[in-house]
Structure 1
Amino acid sequence: MSDATTHLLLPYILAAQAQKHVTHNEALRVLDGLVQLSVLDRNLTAPPGSPTDGDRYIVGSGATGDWAGWDLNVALWTDGAWLRLPPRTGWRAWVAAEGLLLVYDGASWVGTTPTALQNMALLGLGTTADASNPFLAKLNAALWTAKTVAEGGTGDLFYTMNKEAAGDDLGLTLQTGFVTKALVGLFGSDRFRLAVSADGSTFFDGLSVDNATGIVDQPRLPRFKAYTNYDNYAAVDTWTKIRINNTDYNDQGAFDAGNNRFVAPVAGTYLFGAALLFKVNSSTNARMRGRLVLNGSTEIRGSRGEVSGAHSSEATALWLQTMVLLEQGDTVELQGTFRAADGYFAADHTSFWGCKVG
């Protein structure tokens, strides 16, 4: 008959044994150390300097001192001495320092995290998932990285999202305080869209890409083309604002036709151009000049031009073009004048255009 139990090697009290309490207490000591096993650490290779009664450790590989030869065993400090508890296959231990549950597989202590999770209805990371959000994560960082070739992967990484039909929605919702501020994806069609919102209810498309052609559109880009619908008289050597008072198009209302000028809705780099058509007043020798002016007073560098010599009325034209960095609220207007003799800037064909390019 064996003098110890099969699994935990607890000593039996034998018949006619003297001092039975010693054997009984030894068995209780081992039980107290192993039942509901929780260790403080699993990496130490030497005993800590000031253990507390009941402290338990999984001894690290290469143990020394009182733990020499105890690699992967459970060390229990009890009654002023270290007690060695050799693990058996299937033992489970909670590692307090890591918040990790381990199982001894006969050769090493391994984690109990499953290698596969299939057909789960709910999964919450750091929070509780629900029917509306069956996968829910509350994190401060997340990382997706490719499985390398050395690990048997391809080195590539694709994150795939799919919707059932073109008319459905597919995308990313970006929020602040759970109020949606931006949408990125395919919404109501297969066109790629980037839309933004101030209040989570009204959205503006900042970018739209046609999935059939790849053509990119910026629907909210400030841009205009405007013209004057009457002949604008200008005296000799007197710079005069040309009354550009009608628009062919005026996205975002950036051109103020009432004040005959463009008003920058946001800061940025803008491209402008103009066409001025000469109409004679008294002499075809009038020398037509034009320029673009910032905030009503400053000539924009590179925007000034002149046509000299004898002109053909309503045939001679001058074209201007320049790029300028504007602040929000800056204005740009078209001005013209004549040298040698006065004249007119012809209706309908004298125009001014511009758009934001950066």
Structure 2
Amino acid sequence: MKITNNPKLKKLAFKVQKAIVKRIVYLPKPILRKIAGEPIVIDGQTLDVSVQVILKLFDAPPNHLASVASTRRQIDAQGPLLAQSHHKDIISDDFELDVSDGDSITLRRYRHKDVKDNNQPALVFYHGGGYVAGSLESHDLVCQHLAASGHCTVIAVDYRLAPEHPFPTPINDGLAAFRYIASHADKFGVDASRLAVGGDSAGGNLAAVVAQQTKNDTHPPKLQVLWVPWVDMSREYESYELFATGFFLERVKMRWFKEKYINDDTDTKDPLASPIFGDLTGVAPAVLMVGGFDPLRDEGVAYAEKLKDAGVETELTVYETMPHLFLMFAGEIKDAKVAFNDASRSLRAL
């Protein structure tokens, strides 16, 4: 029997992997440096040594493109490896939402088990994965800890994925989910006047689009928290070249994600695909967290500047030692923990 078909063996294998990774990243720094080799310095930034070791020991060969199915399995399996552990005080439950074409999507609510306030602030969260992969499972631990440290309810949206459901279906799902939550706040035990949107990578794209498209709704978002957001599908910035290979997310993979998601290249300048082309006047205050070793670094910085130019209260932080996936590293990597705490602080301000 294959391990991948046996839930108990899969769980055991994950625990073993996580234990191995944990032991590695907490080795003394001189040992880590010896394993990692010479520091990687690009554009005046030095990659975190623990991340460099993980890349050396566990990352796929450069420019490797897996199938859609394999990419989905990989992100679901690897997403929790460097994330925090299960939070015993956070409970979750699922809600089904009917969307287009007779389909439904799942909304997963996370909240503290002892919560007595049925009027909580809430983060509507959209997972990353290039609009092709990622799921409620890949980001489960992240959402647990956002709910705990952000002192809020988190509602994760399991929007449909490309290539089965290309642009604009995931956007429509994300908008439908936010508007449903806002108009059924009592059902979720949340305060419709204190909603935030957030997400990482493609999820950051979706959150940014939702923030723009709902800014004139009765209950618009009051905050947008964007981790390493993919905001411009029309071009490749200099950071695509600087960090083209070797840092988890690679240029060839970004091109592959775009190919699976966008059917017509003229859509790349549609604000529903590339929120950097949208009208940013009056959107919610934004917190942008960008990785220094990320192909998406420069467009994240450009989006923050465009928000500021539109008069939007914007906080931009470039975590120079971090690669694209650092939201998922907050269980074990020091600078990722700092970034996670920064995000939690912004949520508590709701």
Greater length-normalized contact order (CA 8 Å, ≥ 6 residues apart)? 2
TM-score past 0.5 threshold: no
Between Structure 1 and Structure 2, which shows a larger proportion of strand residues?
Answer: 1
The structure with the larger Rg is 1
Query: What TM-score do the two structures reach when normalised by structure 2?
Result: 0.20
Return the TM-score normalized by structure 1. 0.20
